[in-house]
Structure 1
Amino acid sequence: MEGVGVGLGACRRDSEGGLVWAVAVQEVECREVSVIEAEAILLGLKEARRMGMRSITIESDCLGVVEDLKKKLRVRSELCLIYDDILNISASFDSVLFTYVSRNFNRLAHLVSHAMPWHVGRRFWMSDYPLNFVDVASSDLRGMN
């Protein structure tokens, strides 16, 4: 057994790349990778809005999703329904930029998405991060420089 369903993760870094907050959601139902990636973006946007952010850069290692969002793609599919939610929430921000980053520099978000493999639900951190979050965040920064 490899866990329960699918995990979503999003994190916010400050201008120096330090970890500000992280959120993880574990769900029972599995979906295709692009849908999961779009849902993780939506999770991050919702949390950023809840935290009062006005400008945000969304980094994802799913190039297809990033390109679709940049084009504001709107067609009928399960994925595009999530895109609609993302674009609608994005309109409530002063600025939203969607960017592609290599998975090598997006390891923290993937670690967060796997933070609760045996528990369905949501977890939010603003402090008392698991040690491996801090280690991977630091490692990601070293790799970017």
Structure 2
Amino acid sequence: MELRSDTRVGSEYDGSHLGRFWRSIWSCNSPHKIRHFAWRACRDVLPTKENLVKRKVLSDSCCDECKLAEETSGHLFWSCQRARDIWSLSSLFQESWVQLFGSFMDMLWYVVMVAQWEWEHSDVEKLIVVAWALWSNRNECRNRGVKKSCQALLQGALEYLDAYQACVVELGNPKQPVEPEHRLAGVGILIRDAEGHLIGACSKKLEAPLGAIEAEAKAVELGLLFARDLSIQDFTLESDSLMLINVLQDLSPPPSSVAALVYSLVAMSHSFRCVDFSYVGCNGNRPAHLLARHALGIAELSVWVEETPCFLEQALKQDVVATFID
């Protein structure tokens, strides 16, 4: 499945090193939801109070914790006193207290790319999981939950990471049973601009016995979520399932097996500025099929942002040439 957008995602960081930075983040031995949190925090798309004010959801961006500054990602995860207390307890930042990080991306870029000789990859994993725990408890408090002490938050986050990594080691034992291949489905998502340049791509393995229409509906769902995370508002969503496209265009009723999901997809599409659904034949969707095939050989999810997977380069070039010839 593919999305074509008229906008490109920019970055103020050195493009020549950005790929290495993202590879380091996505290779962290931590749950996908935590790696995805880090990616969203770096893209500054978390619903901090600063962002909610920009979206006109809130009128006040003051930090609920300290009441001293605007709640930006840089303040929330670094300069707020609660964050400082947590990092002090963690001993992760030793000689870095003089640094001024304006955003979460600044902080993570520093430890991964600037101070890389001082930081083990395992320490980067700890930093991200602690930041995730801080964000999660912040949200719990905003919903009248219990505010954890800095010590409890830090200890709980690190224990959670240890437990996850222990499970990964155990599941990696060859004696463990392997899921039958026929129970798996692969999903490939491709986002390109109007000239065919790659904005982002992802492969995801679905460990469920899904039929073709069900798998394609899940692909559309993942594509919409991916576009939202990349802050893309105008795009054409292409699928090689004519049945599903007809359903999404309200030209035919949905099959009962995907009816609930289709209604959810239509509602989700309304949260964007403009989404068009378009059918494309299998021959015109080869890059997405390669991503879907790649998904069957990965653990869970692979994401590429502003970089091209090596196995996709030739197919993308051929697809762009064919598009402009047509």
TM-score (norm 1): 0.90
Cα shift readout 1:60-111 (whole Å, capped 9, x = no counterpart): 1111100110017666723112211211110101111000111111111111
CA drift at 1:4: 6.4
Equivalent position to 1:80, from 259, 273, 282: 259
Query: What is the DSSP-based 3-state SS (H/G/I as helix, E as strand, rest coil) of the residue aligned with 1:98?
Result: strand
1:46 CA drift (Å): 0.6
| Paired residues of 2:187 and 2:219 also in contact (CA < 8 A) | yes
Q: Larger % of strand: which?
A: 1
In structure 2, the partner of 1:61 is 240
Structure 1 residue ranges, 4+ long, deviating more than 4 angstroms after superposition: 1-4, 72-76
Quick check: which has more Rg, 1 or 2?
Answer: 2
Deviates more, 1:84-93 or 1:1-10: 1-10
Match of 1:125 in 2: 304
The amino acid that maps onto 2:201 is A
Counterpart in the other structure of 2:191: 12
Higher helix residue share = 2
Are the equivalent residues in 2 in contact too, given 1:38–1:65 (CA < 8 A)?
yes
Letter of the structure 2 residue corresponding to residue 80 of structure 1: A
Corresponding letter in the other structure for 2:239: S
Partner of 2:229: 50
**What count of residue pairs does the alignment treat as equivalent?**
145
Distance in 1 separating the partners of 2:210 and 2:256: 13
Contact 1:4/1:119 (<8 A) preserved: no
The answer as to 2:198 corresponding to 1:25 is no
| Contact 2:247–2:254 (Cα < 8 Å) also in 1 | no
Q: Which residue of 2 aligns with 1:104?
A: 283
Structure 2 unaligned segments of length 5 or more: list them: 1-179
Identity among equivalent pairs (%): 28
* Alpha-carbon contact 1:19-1:134 (below 8 Å) kept: no
The answer for the alignment partner of 1:136 in structure 2 is: 315
How well do the aligned residues superpose, as a CA RMSD in angstroms? 2.0
The answer (yes or no) to whether the contact 1:26–1:116 under 8 Å persists in 2 is yes
Instruction: Give the gaps of 5 or more residues in structure 1.
Output: none
Determine if contact 1:10/1:24 at 8 Å carries over to the other structure.
yes
Deviation at 1:114, TM superposition (A): 1.4
Identify which of structures 1 and 2 has the higher relative contact order when contacts are C-alpha pairs closer than 8 Å and 6+ apart. 1
SS for the counterpart of 1:114 is helix
Q: Specify the code of the residue in structure 1 equivalent to 2:222.
A: L
Alignment partners' CA distance in 2, 1:76 and 1:30? 17
Query: 2:303 aligns to what SS in structure 1?
Result: strand
